[in-house]
Structure 1
């Protein structure tokens, strides 16, 4: 499966492109990536970037970049992760600093969640997150997810928020 393009009122969720790499790398090298295993060296960031792309043909899901419809500016990423590193299908997101606090992550995550349910037929998703990532936890709750303390997780200290077929 090739990565789709999804549209919302303000956003285009589109396949990743090589020109997305510099901003992605900057984020992964920065303290903003601390809730995603960072800051990390370029080699580790490149591995994640490639993993996000590779999941589409391998798993029929993956990451999409979040683009502002009005300006064409890339705002961050949203995706569905699974495979040997994730016990369940995970809905994940991040936005770059300039896009934070404007509702873009919520809008993009809602669209990706709905695509996963309606197009891929995934009845449930989870969001794994660092215990200190309070902003993402609030976003998961706004999406309708509930904390699931019994869920399997990739890291024992992670919180798991479960999204039931909203």
Structure 2
């Protein structure tokens, strides 16, 4: 079962079809450059379905960030694993209108804690493009440290290790 988590400002909830238009637009834009984009509609749909399918298959996946009170969708936080990810990966993105407000930090911290407490995962990593400075700063703010020896999905990625 996909959980819903709450923080001071956010509800982290399961994805729905109503999330697809904003997701598709992000993945087709230059803002997805550090996530393998810009992507075709077909590739974005595959990622969207992947984010949902991991829940029944693996007991984790992605949750959408929604503002408490207004219901505005702000972005996504996820735990990925399986054939495309050597280890359990904590990832995030925010939509342009939500950037710079601390939502990714709040969501990632809550989901990281859930993974450790509820799933009892021994570790999480965050894979990122070496040029993705904003995500690197966020990983460091979350307490993660660079792990040069960690396996990575792409040779040029850097890996931050959480707990």
Please tell me the TM-score bracket, short chain as reference. Answer: over 0.9
For residue 123 of structure 1, report the CA deviation from its aligned partner: 1.8
Q: Deviations over 1:123-166 (max 9, x none)?
A: 210000001100000000000000001100000100000001xx
Which residue pairs with 1:114 in the alignment?
113
Which residue pairs with 2:142 in the alignment?
143
For residue 70 of structure 1, report the CA deviation from its aligned partner: 2.4
Matches within 5 A, 1:13-162: 13-162=12-161
Which residue pairs with 1:163 in the alignment?
162
Q: TM-score, normalised by structure 2?
A: 0.99
Q: TM-score, normalised by structure 1?
A: 0.98
Q: Deviations over 1:15-36 (max 9, x none)?
A: 0000000000000000000000
- Structure 2 gaps of 5+ residues are none
Alpha-carbon separation, structure 2, partners of 1:84 and 1:72: 33
Alpha-carbon separation, structure 1, partners of 2:112 and 2:66: 17
Any idea what SS the aligned residue of 2:11 has?
strand
4+ long deviations beyond 2 Å? none
Q: Deviations over 1:69-113 (max 9, x none)?
A: 021000000010000110000000000000000000000000000
Any idea what SS the aligned residue of 2:81 has?
strand
Alpha-carbon separation, structure 2, partners of 1:123 and 1:141: 19
Alpha-carbon separation, structure 1, partners of 2:33 and 2:117: 32
Alpha-carbon separation, structure 2, partners of 1:96 and 1:103: 12
Aligned length: 163
Alpha-carbon separation, structure 2, partners of 1:3 and 1:46: 20
- Structure 1 gaps of 5+ residues are none
Any idea what SS the aligned residue of 1:111 has?
helix
Alpha-carbon separation, structure 2, partners of 1:69 and 1:80: 22
Any idea what SS the aligned residue of 2:74 has?
strand
